[in-house]
Homo-oligomer: A and B are copies of this chain.
Amino acid sequence: MKLRVINPNDSETMRQTIATSCCEVASTGTHVEVVCAGAGINSIEGFYDGALAAPGVLEQIRLGEATGCDAYLIACADDTALHAARELAKGPVLGIGEAGVHAASMLGCGFSILTAQQKSVRILERNAREYGFAEHCLGVHAMKMPVLALEQCAEPALFSTLVARAESILATDESEALVLGCAGLTFLQADLQKALGLPVVDGVRVGLLMLEALVKAGLKTSKRSSYASAS
């Protein structure tokens, strides 16, 4: 099985972080390629960045189709160009934001999402609602840090701040699981889960694995109506 993971921004550091998480969980026999969208966006913070990044994401889907990819993961929490990508792909396409909230809803009665910037809060809220999780998503909150600064959260002082912020969110929302609302947090999943003592859902890992699941189940994107092949 050949899976293509698309980082909608052009940060090579981010691409490598994503690749590390993917390789960690991919099954034997699954070939994973992680590419950048090449649209010249450093990080996606808001609707505008997402709209500019979209054509690059779609170009990567097209290249994937040309080289026989079986499925695609869009590795930004706003699920950049998700529906458009499904018009191009024969196989399944997931976004990490989408995969994260699906998984979280299966593990606890209500979850919170933690993202980087305030500008993304309403985007993630709207996506969660569109995917069906208006009742399950009890809050979306921002660290109020730039996406690319998240990598510093491995430092003990910043990590403690992150844990304290997460604890506070979970208590206020009475949530039973936490969804990482940014690909840049993927490397912290295990540490955060251990520190918080409840499920911390990383859309990169669980998204890649759900794609494998859909492919193994013989499922592809529907070509009836909405996702019929783009002309």
Contact = CB atoms under 8 A, between A and B. Distances in A.
A133 interface: yes
A126 interface: yes
Contacts of A108: 221-222, 224-227
Nearest to A200: B219
A3 to B, nearest CB: 13
Contacts of A54: 51-52, 54-55
Interface residues of A, number: 80
A134 interface: yes
A209 B213 contact: yes
B133 A132 contact: yes
Given A224-B108, A225-B122, A219 B201 contact: yes
Given A135-B129, A209-B213, A46 B230 contact: yes
B176 A222 contact: yes
A165 to B, nearest CB: 16
B216 A25 contact: yes
State the oligomeric state as a number of copies.
6
B51 A55 contact: yes
A66 interface: no
A87 B48 contact: yes
Contact of A119 (B25, B50, B110, B225): B225
Interface of A: 25, 27-28, 45-52, 54-55, 58, 81, 83-84, 86-88, 92, 94, 98, 102-103, 105-110, 118-119, 121-123, 126, 129-136, 170, 174-177, 189-190, 193, 197-199, 201-202, 205-206, 209-210, 212-214, 216-228, 230-231
